[in-house]
């Protein structure tokens, strides 16, 4: 009996993001009944179609700064409803795009808007791609909603899937940034009122990320402040980038 209980708790623990984000999407579909586009846009945190597009264009600018070129194979972890995918399509980028998310309606929406792109529902802590097949893996506000151990496992499998010389780029929250304190304060309010929060929000430290990357084998680990607009629009969340050794 004890082993069965432990097994069930482990399964529930792993499914925390699946439960919370399917519930989130369902809530926005009820709220925007009759406006499916807006429901899909709101589900990934955008307040309007204009903001959705602007955020996606900013994502593409970040990727280009970190080496995105035509002809590459890229993987969008937590692709959502296609904010980055649509921006890549809008920009005229030519290459192989694959997105993965845990919420089926979001994946279906991306595929309807970007019929030339591949997108799948994938709920394992892995990258749904063969060994050394990708030039770039990126994700925005994914590690903000995962346990540190889950983040490490995603980074570890990203290393496997990247070609030599391939790049990993992602965003994260850090308490060292005063602009991120509002997220923490909001969580305090929910716990004070309800004793729980419906969505996991996680703050990471740059030292943790650097340690994970070095342990896995990445090199050229760098960080960008969320308020740094030197090479691309300010991202708000901090950014991490690293390279798999070798030449692509």
Lowest mean pLDDT among 35-39, 82-86, 95-99, 217-221: 35-39
Closest of 201, 208, 199 to residue 240, by C-alpha: 208
Closest of 224, 107, 216 to residue 162, by C-alpha: 216
Asked if the structure places residue 147 within a domain, the reply is yes
Asked if the structure places residue 87 within a domain, the reply is yes
Asked if the structure places residue 170 within a domain, the reply is yes
Q: Exposed, middle or buried: residue 238 (CB in 10 Å: 0-12, 13-18, 19+)? A: buried
pLDDT value at 1 more than 70: no
CA dihedral for 237, 133, 21, 111, sign (positive or negative): positive
Asked if the structure places residue 82 within a domain, the reply is yes
- Calculate the average pLDDT of the chain: 90
- Structural domain of 91: 48-243
pLDDT value at 109 more than 60: yes
Lowest mean pLDDT among 89-93, 171-175, 181-185, 229-233: 181-185
Q: How confident is the model at residue 135 (pLDDT cuts 50, 70, 90)?
A: very high
The model's pTM? 0.90
Asked if the structure places residue 85 within a domain, the reply is yes
Give kind and range of the element (H or E) at residue 137. strand 134-139
- The whole-angstrom separation of Cα 126 and Cα 110 is 20
Number of domains within the chain:
1
Task: Write down the pLDDT at residue 10.
Answer: 44
Asked if the structure places residue 106 within a domain, the reply is yes
Look up the CATH number of the domain holding residue 169: 3.40.50.150
Asked if the structure places residue 176 within a domain, the reply is yes
């Amino acid at each position: 009996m004890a082993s069965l209980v432990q097994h069930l708790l482990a399964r529930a623990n792993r499914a925390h993001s699946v439960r919370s984000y399917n519930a989130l999407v369902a809530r926005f579909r009820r709220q925007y009944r009759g406006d499916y586009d807006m429901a899909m846009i709101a589900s990934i945190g955008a307040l309007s179609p204009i903001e959705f597009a602007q955020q996606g264009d900013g994502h593409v600018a970040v990727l280009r700064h970190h080496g995105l070129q035509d002809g590459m194979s890229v993987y969008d972890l937590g692709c959502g409803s296609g904010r980055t995918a649509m921006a890549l399509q809008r920009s005229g980028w030519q290459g192989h795009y694959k997105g993965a998310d845990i919420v089926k309606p979001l994946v279906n929406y991306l595929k309807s808007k970007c019929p030339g792109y591949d997108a799948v529902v994938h709920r394992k802590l892995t990258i749904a791609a063969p060994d050394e097949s990708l030039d770039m893996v990126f994700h925005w506000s994914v590690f903000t909603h995962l346990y540190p151990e889950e983040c490490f496992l995603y980074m570890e499998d990203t290393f496997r899937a990247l070609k030599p010389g391939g790049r990993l780029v992602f965003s994260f929250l850090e308490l060292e940034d005063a602009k991120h304190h509002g997220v923490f304060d909001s969580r305090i309010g929910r716990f004070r009122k309800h004793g729980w929060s419906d969505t996991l929000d996680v703050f990471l430290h740059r030292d943790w990320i650097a340690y994970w990357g070095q342990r896995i084998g990445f090199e050229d680990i760098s960080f960008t402040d969320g308020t740094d607009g030197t090479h691309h629009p300010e991202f708000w969340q901090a950014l991490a980038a690293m390279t798999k050794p070798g030449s692509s």
